[in-house]
A and B are shown apart, each in its own frame.
Chain A
Amino acid sequence: MLVLAGVLALASFAALRVGSVEAEGEVAAHILSLRGARLVAGFLAGAALAVSGVMVQGLFRNPLASPSILGTTAGASLGGQLALLLAQLAGFGVSHPELLVPFGCLAGALLSLAVLLVFVRRASDRLTLLLVGFVLGSLFLSLGGLVTSVAQERWELGRAVVAFALGSLGGVGTRQVLFAAPLVLGGFVAALLWARPLDLLLSGEAEARSLGVDVHRVRRWVVVWVSLLVAASVSMSGSIAFVGLVAPHALRPFVGELHRRLLPAAALAGGAFVVLCDVAARALPSRGEVPLGVVTGLVGAPLFLFLLFRGRREAVGE
């Protein structure tokens, strides 16, 4: 935990310093305030996704599960995009989307996990879970593309919707952070309260039930808390992938499998990972900023493939 705290401190320092501009007085204070909000948003978004990743991996007993792999992030992103579009159509404009977007994200995440559970109940093997997640993610991305094309009619709306799809902390402000922070904190505390049943679920549903776990209740509430965490994250950063996969896997060899230890460590690591990726997104040579989702994807996708093939080798006993 001390190492993680150190990494986070370094990442925070870099996040506040990278891309320094010559400014003094109120302008400098304003820049620092924006970067501070961006730093906190990045940390909260990463922590929420990493905690969600630990929870869905425990719930489905599948180390390859994560909100982005299961289509939950794409569902939340679609919900957020639709909220932006509906706000525009209803005449609210997009000047204060932070008031509406989290609700859209929550609805999208809940819908995505509910559909996933319906399919997984019929066939609960590891591959089916991943394939259904892939199909749902693709479907939500396609629908998101449709929303994007509709939104292009208005420049400001189109820009906000595209930022959602690609993942960015560029437009985040204090108001969004203040709105999302209680959701992330509440979701994290709830995750800790469900840590023991999730430990028992590592032995499978039958054993967990025989030991006194009300599996249906655990499943229902984990879906609610994961949806809340993913919605809070996506409402700040848009769709960023693989955080829920990278952080838990990097930590398990050091902190073990017990959820009461893994969850806080994952929160710190996920937060630090996103802050670092955001620093990289700002520092990489480009005309504008490289989208945050691009950077997390570049790190996460190879790791996912590595884990997938390592798992297959172990399964065939090589």
Chain B
Amino acid sequence: MSDPLIHARGLTVRRGAREVLRAVDLEVRPGEVLGILGPNGAGKSTLLRALLGLVPATGELRVDGRPSARLSARERAGLLAYVPQRSHLQAGLAVREVVGQGRYAAGGHADDAVTTAALARLGLEGLQERAFPTLSVGEQQRALIARALATGARALLLDEPTAALDVRRALETFALLRELADEGRAVVVVVHGLDEARRVADRLILLREGAVAATGSPREVVAADPIREVYGVELVEGGALGFRLSED
């Protein structure tokens, strides 16, 4: 088994006197999709941002075997790529420029081959000259994933990437995450729905009030007892609608 790309022990985030994330342990290895699951306010996005070094956290956090705190901003960006739920970009930058921002840490630019390849992989060639704020939410999401791919980072950390997507785009995004993991990247994805959590992840972490309530395979975590304990609902097996991408 390969060494973990991200290794956290006792990861804790405080806001004032309150602990919004409490002593979380996790490991993510190349080739693996780790899903972070939990109800609203459980600390899913905070955990993702703590792994990225975007919020101050205590505990042990190592990225590619090195203490995260000792990594420069560029080094960290070369290892971990972030896909936010929504970008705060309101300026009218062209999509190619936005995707090209992913090349900053590597010293590349918006016109290089890596940017072009990332645009092509997300099917954005036809939109590359459009201003980013004029895109639909789903198209913006694809541009942000393309930007993350352009970084060349070995791990992708995504915050609810399918929250604003229709069912087809959501399934395509899950398929892409699986491809990226199969290519050797580590993928950490915050998911909101239980069905999509089971669909996309190799392993799941279920959070409740900032602490790990359950961890393991999707079958172990999305199971009657943990779901009842965390969400206060009963799991009805086979009761939900299922979808898959059409052959054509």
Contacts and interface: CB of A to CB of B under 8 A. Distances in A.
Interface of A: 61, 196-197, 199-200, 202-204, 206-207, 209-215, 256-258
Contacts of A211: 77, 82, 101-102, 104-105, 147, 151
B97 interface: yes
Given A196-B104, A212-B77, A206 B97 contact: no
Nearest to A203: B89
Nearest to A256: B92
B91 A257 contact: yes
B97 A199 contact: yes
Nearest to A218: B73
Contacts of B226: none
B62 interface: no
Interface in B43-66: 49, 52-54
A207 B84 contact: yes
A111 B91 CA distance: 30
Contacts of B73: 209, 212-215
Contacts of B164: none
24 contacts: A61-B88, A197-B104, A199-B93, A202-B89, A203-B89, A203-B101, A204-B89, A206-B82, A207-B84, A207-B87, A209-B53, A209-B54, A209-B73, A210-B54, A210-B80, A211-B102, A211-B104, A211-B147, A212-B77, A212-B78, A212-B105, A213-B73, A214-B73, A257-B93
B76 A212 contact: yes
B186 to A, nearest CB: 16
- B contact residues, range: 20 to 34
B88 A210 contact: no
B42 to A, nearest CB: 20
B166 to A, nearest CB: 23
B80 to A, nearest CB: 7
Given A204-B88, A211-B101, 16 more contacts: A202-B89, A202-B90, A202-B91, A203-B88, A204-B87, A204-B89, A207-B88, A210-B81, A211-B77, A211-B147, A212-B73, A212-B76, A212-B77, A212-B151, A215-B73, A258-B97
Contacts of B151: 211-212
Contacts of A197: 104
A197 B97 CA distance: 13
Interface in B87-118: 87-93, 97-98, 101-102, 104-105
Given A203-B87, A206-B49, A258-B97, A213 B104 contact: yes
A256 B129 CA distance: 12
A60 to B, nearest CB: 13
B9 interface: no
B74 interface: yes
B246 interface: no
A200 B93 CA distance: 10
B101 A199 contact: yes
B54 A200 contact: no
A256 B110 CA distance: 15
Contacts of B84: 206-207
A206 B159 CA distance: 13
Contacts of A199: 93, 97, 101
A200 B104 contact: yes
